[in-house]
Amino acid sequence: MGDRVRVLFVCLGNICRSPTAQGVFENLVKEAGLGDQIVIDSAGTGDWHLGKAPDQRARQAAQGKGVEIGHLRARQVSAKDFGGYDYILAMDRSNLTDLEHMKPDWYLGHLGLFLPFAPQSRYEQIDEVPDPYYGGFDTFERVYELIHQASLGLLDHIRQHHLRGQGQRGQSHD
Ligand code: 4NP
């Protein structure tokens, strides 16, 4: 799979949660000086929103935190993605079940839920990023926060397991 670490975020529609995760994680990775070390994308298990920009509410919640996701466009996950990503991270169990059915036998990467990478998810006893589609704006803000926490944890995990000593923070802390 090459030298770079490849991460794919997956939700149902690819217009709320996974594009938010892509935007948040891309920002963190850039800030850490690791933009050329980590490849990031997102996709949906469903096909209803193909080619569409993120939901206005997701976009607004992200913009409120300085993260622009309006340029992203929805695409559907496919079996081919298992050849391209070391980490395939599902927002909820339903997404994960769909991905498990698609997973080829030879896949050796990490297929799992995203939220457990957030340090506090264990004691808060939640491991899914809830589907915000039928919720209010407060649900989108909550989803943003969960995604931000999980993104911080994921970056730490990748640094420890794949990129020891690289990037700005690594140089000052390792
Ligand atoms: P997402 O949210 O999976 O976070 O992108 C949803 C978007 C659309 C629908 C459901 C969830 N939908 O039913 O169209």
Ligand 1 centroid to Cα of residue 140, in Å, is: 12
Q: Tell me whether residue 110 is in a domain.
A: yes
Q: For residue 24, what is the domain's CATH number?
A: 3.40.50.2300
- 17 labelled catalytic: yes
Give the model's confidence band at 166: pLDDT under 50 very low, under 70 low, under 90 confident, else very high. low
Q: Tell me whether residue 126 is in a domain.
A: yes
Q: Tell me whether residue 170 is in a domain.
A: no
Q: Tell me whether residue 167 is in a domain.
A: no
- Please write the tens of the pLDDT for every residue from 73-111: 999 999 999 999 999 999 999 999 999 999 999 999 999
- Please write the tens of the pLDDT for every residue from 15-65: 999 999 999 999 999 999 999 999 999 999 999 999 999 999 999 999 999
Q: Tell me whether residue 149 is in a domain.
A: yes
Ligand 1 centroid to Cα of residue 103, in Å, is: 22
The boundaries of the domain holding residue 48 are: 5-162
Number of domains in the chain: 1
The strand order across the sheet containing 38-44 reads 38-44, 5-11, 87-90, 110-113
Q: Tell me whether residue 39 is in a domain.
A: yes
Write out the two tokens for 1: 């799979």
